[in-house]
Chains A and B, each alone.
Chain A
Amino acid sequence: MTRRLAGFLLRSAVRRWPAELHDELSREWQAELHVLAERGQRWRMLRFAASLAVSRASEPVVDRPRFDARARRTAATLLLAPPACLVIILASGLLMNIAVNQAFAPAQWLIDAQPSILAVLTAGLAILLARLAYASAVRGARTGPVRTALGIVLPVGLTAVGAEYALNSSTDDLIRVAPALLVWLPGLTLVLHLVGMLAGRGRTRAAWWTGVLCALVLADLAVALMVINQIPGGPETIVDGVAQADTVDRISAPLWLFTSLTDSSFGLPRPTPSEIFLISDLVELQPFFYLACTPYALAYVIGAARPADPVAAPSPVSSRA
């Protein structure tokens, strides 16, 4: 059984090499496998065949321990960063509460400014996380813009869904945020891919500007979609002659992301205070999650797209390959 499995792995490995080498490689590896089989070294047989089956044929070879360390660092960063974004939001809320509660009879402006303070704290801590992510990306595994973008977005998506479910203990609320996430996550993947390509060509400044602007538009779109999907836009319902303030006028849609982060209409007539309440009550965590995640996602993809440093020494001798 072990011999058959090893044989299967070897055949799979041989197929990945150039066709003209198939016969010789197959013969050579089968001979080594035969020696291991005769010695009864089943695990070594499997390791021998499996290593060939999973390695890159005829590609530049990297030092495996160094590659493994890079892969571990990359995995740890990409898996831990999204939960760290949640911690950032919680810590910002805690800091804001401490600051406001410390003020004896806090002024009304301070109370009104709470969402803005929360947003500023979240942005500040997110930038710190982004610096760590950038440093990790520079020393991490190089996987190309597509894989890097997917590697960032998949854990972010899982964390976003998990956080919404944990906050509300109900799948109904997942349906509430679904339109936003269905736009934001694939959109972020595309943005990160584009940013990675720009950074890979050495256009780091353009990558940053493109990333920030696209991410902003994307987050705005996601928030707008969530509101449009959940809150009617027509005239307010009238019950017993009293307007119920249960609608949000679509004209202020581009502002809703910033409104939900600050509870402000920025001096404009729309959204009205009742609309601001409806918007903020609906979107809850989402805008702050976008704010916490976007800096590290951009920083990581730009850091990972930087041209790799050479592994070791120069090649002093001419080859006749």
Chain B
Amino acid sequence: MRMTIPVAKVLSALLADAEAPRYGLDLMKLTGLPSGTLYPVLHRLQAAGWLAADWEEVDPATAGRPARRYYLLTAEGVHAARQALAELRALAPDGGTSWGGAEPTGVPAW
């Protein structure tokens, strides 16, 4: 997995609550990334096996809207993301990297 700042933002947002499934708009809000950047990142994370995607179990007629697609880090993804972000943080100069509000501060939350 090639680590870029958008990838790091997405991983950071997902790791903030690794048990909580997230949908696209939710992740856009958490990371500040536009849809055109977010979805290719999600696709790459899925392809790498770090991320699983599942359709929401909802009846569109009852809910009044189509089912959404939710994303959740896999066990491998949680481990790999923690390691990748830790190494990224170790390389970054103090205060030199902006995570667009999705950054872990101090002790990691995961």
Same assembly: yes
9 contacts between A and B (CB under 8 A): A25-B39, A32-B24, A32-B68, A34-B66, A52-B39, A58-B43, A311-B4, A313-B88, A315-B2
Report A14-25 CB contacts with B as 1/0, cut-off 8 Å: 000000010011
How many angstroms from the CA of A54 to the CA of B34 in the assembled complex?
11
Task: Determine whether the beta carbon of B65 is less than 8 Å from that of A319.
Answer: no
Cα A316 to Cα B1 with chains together (Å): 8
Q: Which of B35, B41, B48, B91 contacts A51 (CB 8 A)?
A: B35
Tell me whether B4 and A315 are in contact (CB under 8 A): no
Contact residue range for chain B?
A: 35 or more
| Complex Cα spacing A31 to B8, Å | 26
Whole-angstrom distance from the CB of A19 to the nearest CB of chain B? 14
For residue A55, which residues in chain B have a CB less than 8 angstroms away from its CB? 34-37, 39-40
Tell me the bound Cα distance from A49 to B49 in angstroms: 27
Smallest Cβ-Cβ distance to A18: which chain B residue: B43
Q: Which residue of B2, B23, B84 contacts A60 across the interface (Cβ within 8 Å)?
A: B2
Chain A neighbourhood of B68, CB < 8 A? 28, 31-32, 35
* With A51-B36, A316-B83 as contacts: A62 and B48 at CB distance below 8 Å: no
Of A29, A38, A47, A66, the contact of B65 (CB 8 Å cutoff)? A38
| Interface majority SS (helix, strand, loop, mixed), chain A | helix
- Chain A positions 36-82 with a Cβ under 8 Å from a chain B Cβ: 36, 38, 47-49, 51-64, 66
Q: What residues of chain B lie closer than 8 Å to A31, measured between beta carbons?
A: 65-69
| Residues 25-54 (chain B) with a chain A CB within 8 angstroms | 25, 28, 33-37, 39-41, 43-44, 47-50
Residues in A with CB closer than 8 Å to B39 are: 25, 29, 52, 55
Q: Which of B35, B84, B91 has the most CB of A within 10 A?
A: B35
Assembled-state Cα–Cα distance A311/B48 (Å): 19
Pairwise interchain contact A34-B43, C-beta atoms closer than 8 A? no
Verify B25–A35 contact, CB threshold 8 A.
Answer: yes
